[in-house]
Chain A
Amino acid sequence: MTPGDRILFFVLLGIGLLSILSLRLLFAPGRTASIFVSNRLVKKISLGSDETHLIHGVAGAIELRVAPDGIRVTQSECPEKICMRQGAISNKGQIIVCVPNQMIITIDGEAGHSLDAVTP
């Protein structure tokens, strides 16, 4: 190992660690959720908070819960409760839809990249 080799090793190590950091930023979870009712933006919620919100949909009231694992519908006055069963969302591009209430929750940011299968 010459000194040049050692410098090269640490430079490449630095590039590797830097790429981890930059990918963290690039593929970061979304920061805010937008709530639409009948295609109109009614609320923007920051995902960092820990609180409950009440939204008035077309079919009745909807209760949203923001927690560290994302945003979820906890109560809804709709017949099928599909929106409640969709669970929590936190990544860019994910959505929750409640059709009877005409409500859509989206996570802001560009469409998320998630890998299905990669075979190089």
Chain B
Amino acid sequence: MIRVYTSSVIEASADTVWSRVRDFNGLPQWHPGIADSRIENSEPSDKIGCVRHFHTRDGGMIRERLLALSDYDYSCTYAILESPMGVDDYVATLKLTPITDGARTFAEWSAEFECAEGRERELTEHIGAGVFQGGFDALKRHFGRR
């Protein structure tokens, strides 16, 4: 099992950041790597079990199922059903925690998955530094000050 962990500090309250990232169908609105997104079968995007169907900017198609969503814990867990990355049993969690010292947010994005031998480093780098940190960088730019 490969584990990727990326964390950052966003200069806005957890409520504010959560309202930007909560929508399971909202990646294109805040993540620069995502081109479009829809929820399959016209289900609500906060219904556990719904599937988002989206494309990355480089054209890759990804389907992911929402496994858990908590407005109380500011956390969202999902699994990849289909993707061009070559990962199996991929489950990821995006979680926010308020930093009481200033209106800031501690943001964590982690994933566990299996992959072909020899691709661990490349995938860890792509997911951790590319997808996750790329998303955090966009949030940091959006909420400014840092």
Q: Do A and B come from one complex?
A: no
